[in-house]
Amino acid sequence: MSLEIQNLHVRTEDREILHGVDLTVSKGETHALMGPNGSGKSMLANTIMGNPNYEVTEGKILLDGEDLTGAAPDERARAGLFLAFQYPATVPGVSVANFLRMAVNAGREEPIKVKEFGAMLGENMDLLKIDRAFTKRYLNEGFSGGEKKRAEILQMAMLKPAIAVLDETDSGLDIDALRIVSDGVNAMRGPEMGSLIITHYTRILNYVKPDFVHILLDGRIVREGGSELADELEEKGYEFIREEVAANAG
């Protein structure tokens, strides 16, 4: 199964931000999408998930060959896509446990058995070193930055998506939290999941080694390569890439 993004053009009310993005992420692969602020990374993540604030004017989003370009976000989720948000919403009055149960059940015909759910939740919380008391709190209400990111990864672990997009999951994490989150992501790596890790910095890529790296600049993918591209970027910075692109265009 793969997520195929073909010639994707996306605009806000004001202007076009993505000018034809092509990207394929297959199960079993880990991709990194890197780019400076304003390059359109978060917009791409949100568009993959069907955020109604963004309009696709051209191009397609396919999952396993099925065209999801116009699908509602919940259909995409049930088809196997997942987005770990950069800024997850706060859901007052809904506990982490209830939220997770609802989300898990949304993708099933029969509701999950209480015991099975409890076992799965316990296992994943251990994996992410999350305290049991956490599940009684309202989702993201009063959570620290690190707790929010862990709650996102916990949801990912519970929902077991085919393709997961992680939007700046590393931002705002201290080194310990980053390690925990990375361990969690690594534990889920395998033939059953493909992931697209969106990041500004190479920091998380030291823990989660990508198979492929793509660089997004001004709404276009300008360079692609293996994990060595991230090292090159670390060394030279985005300005260097920008100059290189300008030189090639000239």
Partner 1 sequence: MPASFVEEIRSAALARYESEPIPNWRRSGFWTTSLRGLDLDALEPRRYEPIAGREDLPEVARDAIGEQERAGLIVQRGASTIASVLDPALAEQGVIVCSLEQAVEEHPELVEPYFMKRLSYEEGKFSAATAAFWTGGAFVYVPDGVVVADPIQVLYLIDEPGTVQYAHTLVVIGENAEAYVREACVATDFEGQALHAGAFEMYCAAGSNARLSHYQDWGSGEVHDISVKRVEIGRDALCKWVPIHLGGHLTKQQLDIITAEQGSDMRHSGLYFTQGTEHLDLFTTDRKEQANTTGDTVWKGALTGASRASYEGLIEIIPGATNSHTYLQTHSMLLSPKAKADAIPSLIVEVDNVSASHGGTVGEIDEELVFYMMTRGVARQEAVRILVEGYFEEVVQRLGDPQLEELCRRRISEKILAAKDTVAEFIAQR
Residues that bind partner 1 (CB under 8 A): 49-52, 72-74, 76-78, 82-83, 85, 88-89, 91-94, 99, 102-103, 106-107, 138, 155, 159
Least distance to partner 1, CB of residue 229, Å? 29
Q: How far is the CB of 240 from partner 1 (least distance, A)?
A: 35
Select 117 or 138, whichever has its Cβ closest to partner 1.
Answer: 138
Cα angle 130, 48, 194; round to 5: 55
Q: Which is nearer to partner 1, 43 or 229 (CB)?
A: 43
Of 86 and 202, CB closest to partner 1: 86
Give least dist CB 91 to partner 1, A.
6
Instruction: Output the smallest distance, CB 46 to partner 1, in A.
Output: 9
The distance of closest approach from Cβ of residue 24 to partner 1 in the complex, given in angstroms and rounded to an integer, is 21
What whole-number distance in Å separates Cα of residue 98 and Cα of residue 44? 29
Q: How far apart are CA 215 and CA 88, in angstroms?
A: 24
Nearer to partner 1, 151 or 216 (CB): 151
Of 99 and 212, the one with the shorter C-beta distance to partner 1 is: 99
